[in-house]
Structure 1
Amino acid sequence: MKNIIQAVFIDRDGTIGGDGEVIYPGEFTLYPFTKNAFKLLKKENIKIFAFTNQPGISLGNSTEDRFVKELLDFGLEDAYICPHTPEQCCMCRKPEAGLLLKAAVKHGLDLSRCAVIGDRLTDMLAADKVHARKILVMTGVGKESVREYQDKLLKIELDYIAANLLGAVEWILE
């Protein structure tokens, strides 16, 4: 599969680190396996992008620049962030596909040749809208997502369920 994957979009909270809850820049820590997962993707020249909902930005709790800087410092190549609350009804907030579409234009991507890795139903729904590969991880709120949304997850046909980000990347590279 690695030969067909152009880029991987990775959720932040609960997927690369944290516990599924929002932790603001400066306090966020990566899971021990995250850097290795990034290294494996880069070795295969697969682009790595963050895509995350961060409504605390529009509430004044942090800035988009702080999130972007931290994500780039972690080793991601670009970061796509929705700063809106659910009540703002934007087209970039997951489960909408706006962040993925914006990245596709900027980086010349065929989203059907990309993968989305995340721990929430919203990540998988955004991926499904653009026909990207859908990989749910069991870190963060992944286990709760499977229990709570099992019927919806079955309807969108996940490509893979991984224990964590490293397992997801290893599956992509098989």
Structure 2
Amino acid sequence: MYRNIEALFIDRDGTIGGDASVTYPGAFKLYPFAKEALELAKRYNIPLFAFSNQPGISKGECTLQAFEDELLSFGFREVYICPHSHTENCSCHKPSPEMLLTASQTYQLNRKNCVVIGDRWSDMLAASQAGMQAILVKTGAGEEALGKYRHKWIDFEPMYTAKNLLDAMNWLLNK
């Protein structure tokens, strides 16, 4: 499977670290297994892209640069962040696929060969609308996405539901 993967799009909060809430750079901590998972992708030359909603930016609580610097330091090739609140009616806030579509166009990626890994229903819906495959991780808000919010993405089935990011990466590499 990994030979066909052109890129991985990975959510931040609840997927690589933190929890279901937003933790700003400086206080954000990677899950113990996340560093190993990200290094595995790099070892297999799979480009990593971060994509995340960060409404605190538009509220002046943190800067876009702080999020970008943090995510690039974790090994992501490129960072796509929606800085808007869901009430601002922007076109980039997940579950909109805009960040995924922009990245796939910029890097000339075949969306069918891209995988989204996230913990929220909005990650799954963005993947579906972008024509990408997806893996739901049970960390962060993953259990809620499978239960309370499953109705929001009922027409989309993830290719795998993983315990965490490392489980997702191992599954992708061994499928």
Instruction: Give the TM-score, by structure 1 length.
Output: 0.97
In structure 1, what is the Cα distance between the partners aligned to 2:88 and 2:129? Answer: 20
Specify the alignment match of 2:117 in structure 1.
Answer: 117
SS at match of 2:60: coil
Identity within the alignment, %: 51
Hey, which bits of structure 1, 4+ residues long, moved more than 4 A? none
SS at match of 2:56: coil
In structure 2, what is the Cα distance between the partners aligned to 1:128 and 1:150? Answer: 14
Q: What CA RMSD, in Å, does the superposition of the two structures yield over aligned residues? A: 1.0
Q: For structure 2, which runs of at least 5 residues remain unmatched after alignment?
A: none
In structure 2, what is the Cα distance between the partners aligned to 1:6 and 1:140? Answer: 26
Deviation at 1:150, TM superposition (A): 2.8
Specify the alignment match of 2:95 in structure 1.
Answer: 95
Deviation at 1:93, TM superposition (A): 0.6
Letter in 1 for 2:14: G
Q: For structure 1, which runs of at least 5 residues remain unmatched after alignment?
A: none
Specify the alignment match of 2:63 in structure 1.
Answer: 63
Specify the alignment match of 1:23 in structure 2.
Answer: 23
Q: Mean alpha-carbon deviation: is it higher for 59-68 or for 153-162?
A: 153-162
Task: Please show how residues 1-174 of structure 1 align to structure 2 within 5 Å.
Answer: 1-174=1-174
Q: Give the aligned length.
A: 174
In structure 1, what is the Cα distance between the partners aligned to 2:92 and 2:152? Answer: 21
SS at match of 1:155: coil
Cα deviation, 1:99-120, whole Å, max 9, x if unaligned, reads 0011112211111110000000
